[in-house]
Structure 1
């Protein structure tokens, strides 16, 4: 739910820019990670994440397209179940949000109104599930447990980042930031409310501990060659009760379909199991 492949649809030739934003799938940009030390790359791999396209960014390291790993993530080892490699089950990280029942506050900082409206829609979607983890907007003028803010980054190498987030801390706190791209090439000049809501829903899923549903083969939603996001013993724990067959509409698929994607039946099983 983080990148769009600008080159793939350019080859089609007849589509308009607005159609690109609605139909293109996200993909991972395979760039050099030479700026990351071998020690850090080894830590990323040991946590079960792919280093393909990994890059150093403010606050940590961006992996798998939209996941921000902090130094805290890299310095902690698994205290729970080991990795289960299968077909397309929902996966969670080792760390989850603790202290349930709990209300997570969300603030929006310096973003156009449509992003704020999308945050409200996202909150409504989660709260309608009746989980022990609920969300609400932070008091005006304060920063919430999760702050949604913007960055402006254009295409690079045929790809563009839509948004990014990290995972819960080892102390059971949700990741505290969701970054959304305000560049016109990300969502167009008139961003679609439901599309923004779906991207935010996905990124907040990372903040509370979800990995990508097609963890074992991101080509399932992104296209291209088969790519496993990591095979180590930590960092991707199968959620019991979720299926081992293809799950085409999960909100945590690695790549967006360019439209409105909310919780499907298996996502609900996963969310209710965790929270």
Structure 2
């Protein structure tokens, strides 16, 4: 059986067993802090699952790779629910606006070269689609910064959703888990992870948000929730599960997951 990683958080213990699903955004075993019930209630009200919710220094990681800062949780009581279908590509109620525009992305200097190469790989995948939203690599600053995750971070990579019409401004990657090997296979694999996280930054939800067991394994469905952040079906994408979408919650180790035809339809519809 192949190892599966959640494109979000995961415990390293799971990674050591090839037949166990493991989140593609998680790593070292860190002491798990108990999340207050009041916080969980706000997370549910925002439309996210509280399953395996994790506390980080500046907020919380939900659905294994989606970052919510504490201020965002205060929005939970002020938005309306949006109901949707159950198997297509999805976007949130928050998107990037003021199109056309260029989103600049930088990679922290303390990350190995493979993360620069993988970021450029992801950028090239988006730009090849000739969207109204283009991406550009810059050496520092920018609209999205790719940063190293904190020591002992319980996830492999994480990102948030747009705010105020702008993309979420950072992606964190756990280079201690993903490593520094720099070859074509690793660049394609980490590039797929980066493209997934950039997808969150511009407003995409997991393709299998309604049942993460589809890509992550497990006997029972894990519905990530809908309101009010939204899980809005994108017209023209399939009514059933899509086994190759770049926005599936989990991915196999060293798997290259470029955009498939349905992903391209979704990107072209939104941008």
For residues 61 and 99 of structure 1, what CA distance do their matches in structure 2 show? 29
How far, CA to CA, are the matches of 1:9 and 1:250 in structure 2?
A: 22
Q: Report whether the alignment pairs 1:201 with 2:195.
A: yes
Whole-Å separation in 2 of the counterparts to 1:144 and 1:92: 24
Paired positions, count = 255
> Where does structure 1 lack aligned partners over 5 or more consecutive residues?
13-19
In 1, distance between residues paired with 2:12 and 2:38? 33
Structure 1 match to 2:173: 180
Structure 1 ranges of 4+ moved more than 6 A: 31-34, 78-81
Please say if 1:74 is aligned against 2:48: no
1:247 and 1:127, CA in 2 relative to 1: closer, same or farther beyond 3 A? same
The answer to whether structure 1 residue 266 and structure 2 residue 262 are counterparts is: yes
| 1:220-239 → structure 2 map (5 Å cutoff) | 220-224=214-218, 225-239=220-234
Matches within 5 A, 1:1-275: 1-3=7-9, 7=13, 10-11=16-17, 26=23, 35-76=34-75, 82-86=82-86, 88-110=87-109, 111-138=111-138, 140=139, 142-151=140-149, 153-154=151-152, 161-169=155-163, 171-183=164-176, 186-188=177-179, 190=181, 192-224=186-218, 225-258=220-253, 259-275=255-271
Residue-by-residue CA offset, 1:219-250 (whole Å, 9 max, x unaligned) = 00000131111154542222122111120000
Q: TM-score normalised to the size of structure 1?
A: 0.83
Instruction: Give the TM-score, by structure 2 length.
Output: 0.84
Tell me, what secondary structure is at the counterpart of 2:126?
A: helix
Gaps of 5+ in 2: 1-6
Q: Is the 8 A contact 1:117 1:193 kept in 2?
A: yes
Distance 1:154 1:205, change over 3 A: same
In structure 1, distance between residues paired with 2:191 and 2:24 = 19
Structure 1 residue 36: Cα displacement:
2.9
Alpha-carbon distance between aligned partners in 2 of 1:106 and 1:11, rounded to the nearest angstrom: 34
Structure 2 partner of 1:16: none
The C-alpha deviation readout for 1:184-223, integer Å capped at 9, x for no partner, is: xx22452511111010000000000011000000000000
Q: Distance in 2 between matches of 1:34 and 1:11?
A: 24
